[in-house]
Amino acid sequence: MLEFLQNYNLIPFHLSLLALILLSMIETIGYYFNIRPTQYLKSLSPKRLSESPLLNVKFSKTLIVVFLLMNFSFSGYFLQLCVYAQQQEFLPAYYLIIPALIIAIFFTVFMIHCLDQVIKPIETKQQVSLLGRLATISSGNARPGFSAQARVRDEFGQLHYVQVEPEFGELEFQSQIILIRLKKSHYIAKKISKSNSLFTTGNHT
């Protein structure tokens, strides 16, 4: 066991597991003191990355990092143990870092997708005004009498999931809409067309 821990060919995977443990401990301690260290990291990350559709999930993005570190460690250990079973020695780490990372990314994406499907969307509270905000249909199609789910960000950048339906016509999946009126438990929305004068950049002469 001691030889396993001290083997330098396993160090990248040991460090990944150590980072996972430290991150979990810091987040747990921060939770009780109402301090979230990962929020500081989020503020330092590029805006383009934080708004990527791949990271548009219903749970904390910290879990994505946790999944990636965990899968990288386990993938590396698994590959090294397979090599050890055949050759009675570990392969140099630089041969397995890229394969382990590819496997880790694959399983991380898979786990994110599964978890995102299971978690129920957080419905928007009524005190948050989203009227006039741009949104995107994220699930199904909407038509009068039948609502669909849309995602929208408030003025503070917080992501919300709301039910929308059109006054007339149909709102297709992934179509861009604008929330124009609140009706009981859902919003009335209007589809944004490319010819909409609100989004015309040129000036008429």
Residues 6 or more apart whose Cβ sits within 8 Å of residue 147: 163, 164, 165, 186
One domain, residues 19 and 52: yes
Average pLDDT over residues 90-94: 87
Residue 124 lies in a domain: no
Residue 129 lies in a domain: no
Could you give the CA distance from residue 163 to residue 120 in angstroms, rounded to a whole number? 13
One domain, residues 20 and 91: yes
pLDDT digits (tens, 9 = 90+) for 93-107: 889 999 999 999 999
Last residue of a domain, one of 118, 150, 177: 118
Per-chain mean pLDDT for the chain: 78
Residue 163 lies in a domain: yes
pLDDT > 60? residue 52: no
Residue 61 lies in a domain: yes
One domain, residues 13 and 86: yes
One domain, residues 28 and 81: yes
One domain, residues 141 and 182: yes
One domain, residues 35 and 86: yes
Could you give the CA distance from residue 153 to residue 159 in angstroms, rounded to a whole number? 4
One domain, residues 6 and 44: yes
pLDDT > 60? residue 51: no
Instruction: State what percent of residues in the chain have pLDDT above 70.
Output: 71
pLDDT > 60? residue 86: yes
One domain, residues 105 and 18: yes
pLDDT > 60? residue 145: yes
Which residue range forms the structural domain that includes residue 17? 2-118
Could you give the CA distance from residue 36 to residue 48 in angstroms, rounded to a whole number? 22
Last residue of a domain, one of 62, 91, 118: 118
Question: How many C-beta atoms lie closer than 10 Å to residue 135's C-beta?
Answer: 24
One domain, residues 33 and 73: yes
Torsion of CA 112, 117, 119, 123, to 10 degrees: 120
* Total domains, the chain: 2
Average pLDDT over residues 142-167: 86
One domain, residues 103 and 74: yes
Burial 56-90 (b: 16+ CB within 10 A, else e): ebeeebbebbbbbbbbbbbbbbebbeebeeeeeeb
One domain, residues 48 and 87: yes
Question: How many CA atoms lie less than 13 Å away from 63 in the CB half-sphere?
Answer: 14
Cα-based distances in Å from 165 to 152, 169, 190: 14, 9, 8
pLDDT band at residue 173, thresholds of 50, 70 and 90?
confident
pLDDT > 80? residue 74: yes
**What pairing do the DSSP bridges indicate for beta strands 148-153 and 176-183?**
unpaired
CATH code: domain of residue 161:
2.40.50
Last residue of a domain, one of 69, 93, 118: 118
One domain, residues 23 and 83: yes
Could you give the CA distance from residue 29 to residue 166 in angstroms, rounded to a whole number? 46
pLDDT digits (tens, 9 = 90+) for 109-138: 888 777 766 665 555 444 567 888 889 998
